[in-house]
Amino acid sequence: MQVFIIAGEPSGDLHGSNLIRALKTRLPQARFVGIGGPKMEEAGLELLFSSSELAVVGVVEVAGHIGPILRAFGRTTDWLRKERPDLLILIDYPEFNLQVAAKAKKLGIPVFYYISPQVWAWRKGRLKKLRRLTDRMAVILPFEEAFFRSHGMKARFVGHPLLDVVKARVSRSEFCKKAGLNPERPVIGLVPGSRKSEVSRLFPVMAGAARRMLKDGRDVQFVLPLAPSLDPGTLEPFIYQVTESVTTDQHRRTQTDGSPDHPIIRMVRGQTYDAIAASDLILAASGTVTLEAAILGTPMVVTYMVSPVTYFLGRCLVKVPFVSLVNLVAGRRVVPEILQGDVSAGRLSHEVLSLFGDKAAMENMIRDLKEVKNALGKPGAAERAADLAMDLIQGP
């Protein structure tokens, strides 16, 4: 028994690892091969290609990575042709995965899609292709099952896999103590994403917003939970700029000395959920982190920027009113979204301080985020997805 599985991004690596573990309890002798990251490899995946070379967003960004993408596609299709696995599992990453699915269908390999492409948002023309190339889908957003079923696809809502993994491991006071923060004072989390391209655009602006707030004398602290895929050295120059721009008196108030050993923005690794839970509010890139914050009950301001070409094409193709998953699940504006040309240090600083100054707005947001969490279903998504995959392997 062989299963080939593809996850092209860090979030897919996490969810793919849990799916592999769930399948292993049902198929203890199965061999799992594919494209993924360190979490999937730890769960037992034999890596044919690392997903770290594929995790990019946008037309311009993808063009710059076309070499690794083509190599990964070639290795994958060669392996499928030679080995003919019993099942192909695809996790999100539609531009790549649908091309692989086309090859698999020609070879008679069943295709299971876990975490479906967001065709309800853009490029609905792919629905016919998706229906033709996939045998079963496990979807993770509450409105997706009805959408895909209405287009003739075998889809089932299994709940969101984040519900199984998103939880703080330590108390706020313990986290603050370890991170060098004062638990008695407000903490703002800066979460610029996990992809190098998005972080390079967003973090300098987030750091600028932090500098503005501190120079205005605001009594706030900052923490940056670093994604495993990121090199802290690329962010440290911006952190030091913030540190050096704030007066010595302000450093004393924040209980730091402003030296490189005691930066104003505290960077932590491997503690993302603890950092978000300990924050009174986060500045977050649009993406999975918005749902993670909703599950933890942390208010947020969402922001995003892509290349001008990608943004122009997106404006033409995307047909949904929001970009953040929190607002999409809620079906209304729950959290503010600051996008593209509106993104600036001044605007982000203003949005954060406006929320801090409005207790009722913060309380309303926390209540709305709880409703979003409830809409995501119950824990156990990977187990339910594994059951669907087994149905496909075992046949009628």
Evaluate the CA torsion angle 209, 211, 217, 219 in order and state its sign: positive
Distance CA 287, CA 227 (A): 13
Spans of the chain below 70 pLDDT: 55-65, 121-124, 245-263, 307-320, 396
pLDDT reported for residue 60: 40
Predicted pLDDT at 317: 56
Res 235: pLDDT: 85
Closest CA to 18 of 318, 317, 383: 383
What residues contact 127, with CB distance under 8 A and at least 6 apart?
A: 119, 151, 153
CA distances from 358 to 41, 255, 308 (A): 46, 26, 34
Taking residue 112's Cβ as centre, other Cβ atoms within 10 Å add up to 25
- pLDDT of the residue at 315: 60
User: What is the structure's pLDDT at 187?
Assistant: 97
Q: How many residues in the chain?
A: 396
pLDDT of residue 308: 67
Q: Please report the pLDDT score of residue 330 as a whole number.
A: 96
Q: What is the DSSP string of 196-221?
A: HHHHHHHHHHHHHHHHHHHHTT---E
**Residue at token pair 């269908």:** 105
Domains of the chain: 2-159+380-394 (3.40.50.2000), 172-375 (3.40.50.2000)
pTM of the prediction?
Answer: 0.85
Distance CA 68, CA 35 (A): 12
Give the distance, in angstroms, between the CA of residue 370 and the centroid of all CA atoms in the same chain. Answer: 19
What pLDDT, on a 0 to 100 scale, did the predictor assign at position 156?
Answer: 98
